[in-house]
Amino acid sequence: RPKHLPLPLLIGDIKQLDILAKPLSEIALFLAKRFWPGGLTLVVPKAARLPGYLGNTSIAVRIPAHPVCLALIQAINNPLIGTSANISGRPSALTAGEVRQQLGNEVDLIIDGGRCPDGGESTVVDVTGGEVVILRQGIIPEDEISRVAEEYRKIKEPCGLL
């Protein structure tokens, strides 16, 4: 992973955002509740106390759907830095064997939790400005993110007027 890219955080519970991020917009919470755990990474305003290598003004966070990863995060009750297990620019590894092929001796430990159930990169959505901006199309299609964002807007509009 290029050093200039911030490191995403994997969290075990949405409540962990209270210490990691500034208060989230309602649309950010709506998307999180709809797609977490799962393949949505949200870019949110970073709490000032977090180190710069996680991002300057924002951080990327996700609750993973993989049961082994989620259980580990919940057991330690702390976020983990978690990027995809691949060499930058190459396809994401979906099995422990694929991780071993790509990264070999570059990592100290590979936990074989079976095939990655999501099957690819997460969809990355920036909600730092209160709007939904898709930064990377991943396993959740852009039209599904847009549909849920529109659903949120309809709920928030009084009697459909605005």
Distances (CA, A) of 114 to 98, 118, 145: 11, 12, 28
Mean of pLDDT over the chain: 89
The pTM of the whole model exceeds 0.85: yes
Which letter, b or e, does each residue of 103-135 get, where b requires 16 or more Cβ atoms within 10 Å of its Cβ? eeeeeeeeeeeeebebeebbbbbbbbeeebebe
What residues does each domain of the chain span? 9-84+121-160
pLDDT (0 to 100) of residue 147 = 97
pLDDT (0 to 100) of residue 3 = 63
The answer on pLDDT for 162 being more than 60 is no
pLDDT (0 to 100) of residue 156 = 81
The answer on pLDDT for 160 being more than 70 is no
For range 118-134, the mean pLDDT: 90
pLDDT (0 to 100) of residue 7 = 80
More confident position, 61 or 119: 61
pLDDT tens for 38-60 read 999 999 999 999 888 888 899 99
The answer on pLDDT for 30 being more than 90 is yes
User: Regarding the domain delimited by 9-84+121-160, which CATH topology (the fold level of the hierarchy) does it fall under?
Assistant: DHBP synthase (3.90.870)
Please enumerate in sequence order all residues whose Cβ is within 8 A of that of 67, keeping only pairs 6 or more positions apart, or say none. 113
